[in-house]
Structure 1
Amino acid sequence: MNTPIRLHIENQVAYISLNRPEVFNSFNREMALSLQEVLKKCAEDNQVRAIHLTGEGKAFCAGQDLKEVTDPALNPGFKAILEEHYNPIVKLLREIPKPIVAAVNGVAAGAGANIALACDIVVASENAAFIQAFSKIGLIPDSAGTFFLPRLIGFQRASALMMLGDKVMAKEAETLGMIYKAVPAEEFENNTKTLAEKLAKMPTKALALTKQALNESLTNNLENQLALESKLQIASAATADYKEGVTAFVEKRKPNFKGE
């Protein structure tokens, strides 16, 4: 049976693939709910220390499957699409206490683009493109696009891309600061897997606390952020990985982090 989400775990990395390549991995209700379940499973699995999210076939994700919303028998309605599909996915991506790499292998459009941008580190194949496609069909950007994109590239550029719906190729996205980096297509798969495996060997709790600090920085003032840094640094210093990191530094060896 063909599943809309593929998952396999290797070297403490959860490899998640959006698996509707025949429609460029566009979301229908089944795929959205399945992705939520898989993300929750990865969050709870102590053997998973990093997540690698990509798409099967030529695309990362083309956003919402418009056939679903134009079919009266299938259309769940925009309230359900946002409140039951995309919003929970974005919240999970930000709340999971593990680093998430978005490996954007091809086009990322609409909700697909914004779900990628909600991940911790975005790496794209040079052949990939990001498109805020909403205005082309009379909609506004969703899936936290209006939250993250202006913070990544600035208000003016975000406004223009959202209103005009311009295609942004991966190298330009890197230059704009929209993504971490673009890599040649022939190096893409190995590069993103190596990155995810590197993250999985790092001090997982410290990375989770870093993610929490970044999340809260989006709404905190300076005084609150400094207080939060103090609180989280004390928590980091109480971990076994901190003790291992310091010991390894003193002994001039590579640390062996356990994610504890």
Structure 2
Amino acid sequence: MAPVHILTERRGDVLVVTLNRPDRLNAAPPAMFEEIAGALRDLDGARAVLVQGAGRAFCSGADVAGGALAAADPREATFAALTDSYNPTLALIADLAVPVVSAVRGPAAGIGCSLALAADFCVASDTAYFLQAFVNIGLVPDGGASWMLPRLIGKARAAEMMMLGERVFAAKALEWGMIHKIAADAVLDHEAFALAERLAAGPTLALAAIRRQLHAGYESDYAAAMAREADNQRAMRGTADAVEGGRAFLEKRTPAFKGE
């Protein structure tokens, strides 16, 4: 079945996933995240992913205006949406074998904030802001925000976001180390795609191993991290890309990685 809430496009080696509910600022019903997961399970050789939003927003949060989240028992409906749709998609992004870039203009709020920051690189427009507004309606952050934000920006700043429920605009997000870079709104799409394209041209197996090392490093002690690096380095030494990289270095040329 064709996706209803997203658009997908293959541009060279980059899979572009566009949240496509611009009239709702790309508010995300559970089905949208299920469609994102479906697209990511079928990379079909893509070597990087770009996630963006149609129109003037990245994602204004979960869509609570209708469907399952407006059910008679909102407690169970919300729990089911998180455990069955939102959380599995974010976990899939974390385990993906290729790099992920997000392009954020306008709001990245709630589950949209979690989606934007789940990427390896978040490129934000000068119109972008990040928001954890749950406290303003008597709820708590979800989508892994309480795990992600303290690791990205520290406990004090994470507490500011989650307990005060105020917007963090792009300039502050960059200062805090939450995002990779800021681009003028007019060139955001170009800048984010160029970064995804650069990653897609890289040594895919090594990039996948780097992603795993970064995620595992959140929980590993120093010795375990070094042991994991040694195992991965041994594996990467056997790849065609490592051979090509070594040759290119000696021949003083740009390597032509194949992701093998």
Structure-2-length-normalised TM-score: 0.95
- Aligned equivalent of 1:55, options 53, 56, 79: 53
| Separation in structure 2 between the aligned mates of residue 24 and residue 134 of structure 1, nearest angstrom | 18
Q: Which runs of 5+ in 1 are unaligned?
A: none
Q: Which residue of 2 aligns with 1:16?
A: 17
Comparing 32-41 with 250-259, greater Cα deviation is found at 32-41
Once the two structures are superposed, the pairs formed by residues 1-40 of structure 1 within 5 Å of their partners are 3-40=4-41
Query: Equivalent residue of 2:101, what SS?
Result: strand
Aligned residue pairs: how many?
Answer: 257
Query: Equivalent residue of 2:65, what SS?
Result: helix
| Separation in structure 2 between the aligned mates of residue 70 and residue 90 of structure 1, nearest angstrom | 19
Summarize the Cα distance change of 1:80–1:213 in structure 2 as closer, same or farther, 3 Å threshold.
same
Q: Which residue of 2 aligns with 1:222?
A: 222
Tell me how far 1:72 sits from its aligned partner.
2.8
Summarize the Cα distance change of 1:234–1:176 in structure 2 as closer, same or farther, 3 Å threshold.
same
Percentage of matched positions with identical amino acids:
39
Q: Which residue of 1 aligns with 2:149?
A: 149
Preserved CA contact (<8 Å) 1:103 1:192? yes
Amino acid at match of 1:8: E
| Separation in structure 2 between the aligned mates of residue 130 and residue 106 of structure 1, nearest angstrom | 9
Preserved CA contact (<8 Å) 1:49 1:200? yes
Preserved CA contact (<8 Å) 1:153 1:176? yes
| Separation in structure 2 between the aligned mates of residue 74 and residue 31 of structure 1, nearest angstrom | 21
Once the two structures are superposed, the pairs formed by residues 109-258 of structure 1 within 5 Å of their partners are 109-258=109-258
Tell me how far 1:27 sits from its aligned partner.
1.2
Structure-1-length-normalised TM-score: 0.95
Tell me how far 1:29 sits from its aligned partner.
2.5
Tell me how far 1:3 sits from its aligned partner.
2.1
| Separation in structure 2 between the aligned mates of residue 18 and residue 122 of structure 1, nearest angstrom | 15
1:64 aligns with 2:62: yes
| Separation in structure 2 between the aligned mates of residue 222 and residue 29 of structure 1, nearest angstrom | 38
Query: Equivalent residue of 2:4, what SS?
Result: coil
Preserved CA contact (<8 Å) 1:123 1:179? yes
- 1:48-69, Cα deviation, whole Å (9 max, x unpaired): 0000000111110011112026
Preserved CA contact (<8 Å) 1:171 1:181? no
Q: Which runs of 5+ in 2 are unaligned?
A: none
- 1:46-104, Cα deviation, whole Å (9 max, x unpaired): 2x000000011111001111202663379670121110111111101100010000111
Query: Equivalent residue of 1:58, what SS?
Result: coil
Amino acid at match of 2:71: P
| Separation in structure 1 between the aligned mates of residue 226 and residue 19 of structure 2, nearest angstrom | 38
Preserved CA contact (<8 Å) 2:61 2:110? yes
Q: Which residue of 2 aligns with 1:41?
A: 42
| Separation in structure 2 between the aligned mates of residue 201 and residue 73 of structure 1, nearest angstrom | 49
- 1:195-215, Cα deviation, whole Å (9 max, x unpaired): 111111010110000001011
Amino acid at match of 2:174: E
Comparing 79-88 with 64-73, greater Cα deviation is found at 64-73
